[in-house]
């Protein structure tokens, strides 16, 4: 595949995830679709909201803000790149990057945690509804204590897209290793098997889409089914969890073929997306139902009473990897916060090298 196509797909996945995150963030804590309609109209939220009415802050830049989902995704990318620069394994480097993110949330500094240039970006030094499990687990790690929890929240899966994007480029990492690395990165903070197994599936699908010259809906469906078989092989000690997750994903595939009501399907058949397996099921449903219409996929992925920013983010990561940056509607790209930073990080993943960011505004 042409190198520039790979670059476009990496950009598409990261920007797509940020768009889904920013579209869903204003309605994340609106607990019924009816209330979303009362604020945004009959079809719910359909454009990025640049007014920041739900935040105490106002950055004054006229952009739709991203949440902790995009913040942590960018730190995942920096962790991967720092591993190469520092000649260390991926997992310790990713963990250190997450600690750097934690420090941006507290305003503290700690010696040895200063490798991620994005830590100096102002928008990444504000709290955007960070997950309690992530904060608690990373604080434990920082104190030298192994985190112990049974969380299967979606805070692990919403941040792993850079891993398959990096691994797929020039075949840097084998696909099964990518799946395992994505799960391990999630398990740092979310230790229920269903808190990290779904990350392996998302990683598999993104990896395959990035390397597919002309992905189509049916081939995407095939990648999802293949990925389910791979996770069964990777996690043989958790047959019940894998079975439960597989059943839910197959339900999402089925409904993507027959649903006539996105809100009902998501809320009644797939869940709220607060836990990882539901987040991925909703992302699978929306990606397949609207594989050829990024905008409609984004709208469907966030207009429900659940964890809208995370379901939007994972949907955007998947579809963006399939269609690439250039195919994403311009109005989304114009209105999303950190656009230039995200593109720079995407290009660094493509290059396998951290380069100087010269376009700070």
Residue 2 known to bind ligand: no
| CATH number of the domain within which 85 lies | 1.10.4080.10
Tracing tokens 């991925």 back to the chain, one arrives at: 280
309 is in an annotated binding site: yes
d(C-alpha 40, C-alpha 244), whole Å = 35
* pLDDT of the residue at 57: 66
Is 307 marked as a binding-site residue? yes
Q: Which residue has the higher pLDDT, 310 or 60?
A: 310
Q: How confident is the model at residue 361 (pLDDT cuts 50, 70, 90)?
A: very low
Burial 191-226 (b: 16+ CB within 10 A, else e): bbbbbbbbbbbbbbbbbbbbbbeebebeebbebbee
Q: Answer whether residue 183 is part of any domain.
A: yes
pLDDT band at 223 (very low <50, low <70, confident <90, very high): very high
* 67 annotated ligand-binding residue: yes
Tell me, what DSSP letter sits at residue 125? S
Q: Can you tell me the mean pLDDT for 272-289?
A: 99
Return d(Cα 221, Cα 228) in angstroms, integer.
Answer: 11
Q: Mean pLDDT, to the nearest integer, of 236-258?
A: 99
Q: Identify the DSSP state of 270.
A: I
Alpha helices in the chain (DSSP H): 3-24, 33-40, 68-86, 90-106, 132-142, 162-168, 175-187, 193-211, 217-234, 239-258, 262-264, 276-289, 294-302, 308-323, 330-335, 339-351
Half-sphere exposure of 284 (CA within 13 A, CB side): 38
In a domain, 59, yes or no: no
- Which of 278, 272, 352, 283 shows the shortest CA–CA distance to 312? 283
Question: CA 50 to CA 59: how far, in whole Å?
Answer: 10
Distance CA 333, CA 208 (A): 24
109 lies in a domain?
yes
- Mean pLDDT value across residues 49-54: 86
Taking the CB of residue 268, how many other CB atoms lie within 10 A of it? 10
Could you give the 3-state DSSP secondary structure of residue 2?
coil
Q: Is the pLDDT of residue 360 over 60?
A: no
Decide if 73 is inside a domain.
yes
3-state secondary structure (DSSP) of residue 64: strand
Residues composing the chain: 361
Mind listing the pLDDT tens digit for each residue in 169-191? 999 999 999 999 999 999 999 99
pTM here?
A: 0.97
Instruction: Domain count for the chain, please give it.
Output: 1
Expressed as residue numbers, the domain containing 108 is 3-43+64-351
Taking the CA atoms of 8, 11, 98 and 152 in sequence, report the sign of the dihedral they define.
negative
Q: Note whether residue 332 is domain-resident.
A: yes
Asked whether the predicted pLDDT for residue 344 surpasses 80, the reply is yes
Closest by CA position to 158, among listed 71, 93, 268: 71
261 annotated to a ligand binding site: no
In a domain, residue 101? The reply is yes
Q: Any residues with CB less than 8 A from the CB of 214 and at least 6 apart, and which?
A: none
Residues 78-105, mean pLDDT to the nearest whole number: 97
- Structural domain contains residue 242: yes
Question: Within a domain: residue 56?
Answer: no
Residue 267 CA to residue 271 CA, distance in Å, equals 5
The answer to whether residue 355 scores a pLDDT higher than 70 is: yes
State residue 60's pLDDT score: 67
């Amino acid at each position: 595949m042409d190198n520039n196509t790979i670059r476009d797909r990496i950009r598409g996945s990261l920007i797509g995830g940020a768009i889904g995150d920013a579209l869903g963030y204003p309605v994340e804590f609106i607990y019924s679709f009816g209330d979303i309609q009362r604020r945004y109209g009959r079809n719910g939220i359909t454009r990025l909201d640049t007014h920041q009415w739900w935040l105490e802050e106002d950055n004054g830049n006229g952009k739709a803000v991203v949440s902790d989902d995009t913040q942590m995704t960018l730190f995942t990318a920096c962790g991967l790149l720092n591993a190469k620069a520092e000649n260390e394994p991926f997992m310790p480097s990713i963990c250190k990057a997450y600690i750097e993110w934690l420090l941006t949330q507290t305003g503290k500094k700690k010696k040895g945690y200063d490798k991620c240039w994005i830590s100096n970006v102002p928008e990444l030094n504000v709290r955007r509804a960070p997950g309690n499990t992530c904060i608690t687990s990373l604080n434990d790690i920082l104190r030298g204590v192994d985190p112990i929890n049974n969380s299967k929240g979606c805070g692990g899966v919403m941040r792993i897209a850079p891993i398959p994007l990096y691994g797929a480029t020039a075949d840097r990492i084998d696909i099964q290793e990518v799946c395992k690395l994505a799960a391990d990165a999630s398990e740092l903070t979310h230790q229920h098997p269903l808190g990290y197994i779904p990350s392996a599936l998302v990683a598999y699908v993104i990896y395959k889409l990035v390397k597919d010259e002309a992905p189509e809906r049916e081939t995407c469906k095939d990648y999802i089914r293949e990925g389910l078989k791979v996770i069964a092989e990777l996690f043989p000690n958790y047959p019940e969890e894998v079975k439960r997750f597989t059943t839910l994903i197959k339900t999402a595939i089925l409904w993507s073929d027959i649903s006539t009501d996105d809100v009902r399907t998501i809320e009644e058949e797939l869940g709220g997306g607060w836990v990882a397996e539901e987040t991925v099921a909703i992302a699978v449903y929306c990606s397949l139902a609207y594989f050829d219409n990024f905008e409609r996929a984004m709208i469907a992925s966030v207009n429900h009473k659940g964890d809208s920013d995370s379901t939007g983010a994972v949907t955007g990561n998947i579809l963006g990897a399939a269609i690439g940056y250039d195919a994403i509607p311009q109005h989304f790209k114009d209105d999303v916060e950190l656009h230039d930073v995200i593109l720079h990080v995407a290009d660094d993943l493509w290059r396998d090298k951290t380069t100087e960011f010269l376009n700070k505004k």
